[in-house]
Amino acid sequence: MSDVLLEIKDLHAGIEGREILQGVDLCIRRGEVHAIMGPNGAGKSTLSAVLAGRPDYKVSSGTVVYDGRDLLAMAPEERSWAGIFLSFQYPVEIPGVSITNFMKAALNARRKAAGEPELKPAEFLKLLKEKMAFVQMKGEFAKREVNVGFSGGEKKRNEIFQMAMLEPVLSILDETDSGLDVDALRIVADGVNRLRSPQTSAIVITHYQRLLEYIVPDVVHVLKNGRIVATGGAELVQQIETEGYDSISG
């Protein structure tokens, strides 16, 4: 098992004929947390969309190798089965589908793909309760329709709840801090930190340094105009905080 989990080489991608990523290179090893910071419009969300396999985003050139596999050839559900999880910046409402049924379908689809039997109801229920406690969700939560009528904080906690249920190898947190108050931010960050392990990695995408006070990254990248223009450690976060993105040339 190589210690490189994800390797992106010269990735060009965009939407509706507009090229947004213009040659992204990124290498993430197992156990590392990488922060990707950048101003609005830099391509942060495009990168997360391409990694998760959003059908409306098109890759024009470049390669992405995940755990030795050609990620770009995999359907979104296959990426999930392989351990990729995207925490959405704007979690989607699914009217008429309860959290319980949603998670049951997700877990059982993955088990089926792996040739394993479906979870027994009692096993599923135990797991559900354990992970709900993880993000401080109460019993009624499981019966609610996915994200319907959720507050901003509840939606983001629901993302982390799903992450805990699916136990991903590579988590991509797309602006998970946006629209969160300090309490919700802490619950979300605690959840993410407790899922850190030497085998799992995370990409934390954010505009602000606030989240990085709670989730401390190993490596920090600055994405600007569709390219990574700087890579470093915590000092880069400080520089952005005091001098802004303009101080980093790209």
Partner 1 sequence: MDSVYVIGRDAVPSLLRLGAGEALRMTLVVPEGESCKLSLEVDLDGPGASLDLAGASLSSGSEQVDINVVVRHNVPGCRSEQLFKSVAGGSSRVAFDGLVYVARDAVRTVAHQQNHSLLLSESAVAESRPQLEIYADDVECSHGATTGYLNPEELFYMRSRGIPEEVARQMQIEAFLAPVMQRAGFENQDTL
Residues making contact with partner 1 (CB under 8 A): 52-56, 75-77, 79-81, 85-86, 88, 91-98, 100-107, 109-110, 113, 121, 124-125, 142-143, 162, 166
- Work out how close the CB of 250 gets to partner 1 at its nearest, in angstroms, rounded to a whole number: 30
- Which residues have CB under 8 Å from 37's CB, separation 6+? 205, 206, 207, 209, 220, 221, 222, 223, 236, 237, 240
- Work out how close the CB of 188 gets to partner 1 at its nearest, in angstroms, rounded to a whole number: 18
- Work out how close the CB of 83 gets to partner 1 at its nearest, in angstroms, rounded to a whole number: 10
Nearer to partner 1, 75 or 247 (CB): 75
Nearer to partner 1, 59 or 106 (CB): 106
Closest CA to 200 of 165, 169, 166, 173: 169
Nearer to partner 1, 90 or 183 (CB): 90
- Work out how close the CB of 147 gets to partner 1 at its nearest, in angstroms, rounded to a whole number: 9
C-alpha neighbours within 13 Å on the C-beta side of residue 218: 16
The number of helices, as runs of H, and strands, as runs of E, in the chain is 8, 12
Nearer to partner 1, 195 or 229 (CB): 195
The answer to whether the beta carbons of residues 34 and 216 sit under 8 Å apart is no
